Amino acid sequence: MTAEPLLTGRGVVKSYGQIPALRGVSVDVAEGEIVAVTGPSGCGKSTLLHCLAGILTPDAGEVSYRGERIERRSEAERSLLRRSEFGVLFQFGQLVPELTIAENVALPLMLGGTGRRQAHTAALTWLDRLGVAHLADDLPGAVSGGEQQRTALARALVTEPRVLFADEPTGALDTLAGEQVLDHLLRVTQDQGTAVIIVTHDARVAAYAAREFALRDGEHDPSGVGIGSVRRGRRARGEVATEARAR
């Protein structure tokens, strides 16, 4: 018997003006599962991630979390979901430069109403799990790219979400720093039983996931190869637009 999926997309469609980014994509993610969404630039993989995370509203189709539709909920409701059940990790630029590493990690808890002291303690615990507790009082600008990404991962996980959305999380890092982020990501999410959806165009990153969900020109590609050079240029612009909106 298969357990009910934690998160599902059904026939998800999304266009940017006249440019279709997703042409009806269906995907299931089980509790604790790690799925890599792969494909070339402009295939729609970031758009899919943003639709599943409730950051973007699809033009058509359904997104359900624990069997309940979420895609038509208000921005406030989806925002609450992202603060409590979902964690999001982008390629770079997510930390508030004026706040210390620990304050950055404590931020989602404090936004959710947790007291300052308690949020700070939780932040330190997560920084320790990710091997960056010694940087707690530093500003993001003073630490390396890999350390910033581990801090962003701590921030995404501090609310103990059930799903972590990671969009090219190692795209801006050198190989070894990227690998350390992935090792940590894998270990802590498996410890917590958190499902992970990781968007990547790098096969070495995709190999960390138990399952690959390949996209090609806005559609699921069951062959898993993710080819498709047509409309590459226009799609690439579509993807840039998604990233800009997501920030």
Partner 1 sequence: MSTPYVLLGFLAERPRHGYDLKHAYDSRFPKAKPMAFGQVYATLGRLERDGLAFAQGSDQAGGPERTVYAATPEGRARLEEWLATVETPAPHVNSALLAKVTVALLVADVETASTYVTDQVAAHMARMRELTAIKTSPQSALSDVIAADYAINHLDADLRWLRTTLDRVSDLHREVHT
What is the contact surface with partner 1 in residues (CB under 8 A)?
40, 183, 186, 202-204, 206-210, 212, 223-230
Q: What DSSP line would sit under 27-81, residue for residue? A: EEE-TT-EEEEE-STTSSHHHHHHHHTTSS--SEEEEEETTEE-TTS-HHHHHHH
* Beta carbon nearer to partner 1, 37 or 136: 37
Q: What is the Cα 219 distance to its own chain's centre?
A: 20
Q: How far is the CB of 242 from partner 1 (least distance, A)?
A: 23
Q: Counting Cβ atoms within 10 Å, is residue 203 exposed (0-12), middle (13-18) or buried (19+)?
A: exposed
Q: How far is the CB of 227 from partner 1 (least distance, A)?
A: 5
Cβ–Cβ under 8 Å, residues 165 and 49: yes
* Beta carbon nearer to partner 1, 60 or 227: 227
Q: How far is the CB of 86 from partner 1 (least distance, A)?
A: 24
* Beta carbon nearer to partner 1, 217 or 239: 217
Q: How far is the CB of 209 from partner 1 (least distance, A)?
A: 8
Q: How far is the CB of 39 from partner 1 (least distance, A)?
A: 10
* Beta carbon nearer to partner 1, 9 or 40: 40
Q: What is the largest CA-CA distance in the chain?
A: 53
Q: What is the DSSP letter of 3?
A: P
* Beta carbon nearer to partner 1, 60 or 203: 203
CA distance 82 to 55: 9
Torsion from C-alpha of 57, 63, 65, 70, nearest 10 degrees: 40
Q: What is the Cα 54 distance to its own chain's centre?
A: 11
Q: How far is the CB of 213 from partner 1 (least distance, A)?
A: 12
* Beta carbon nearer to partner 1, 111 or 225: 225
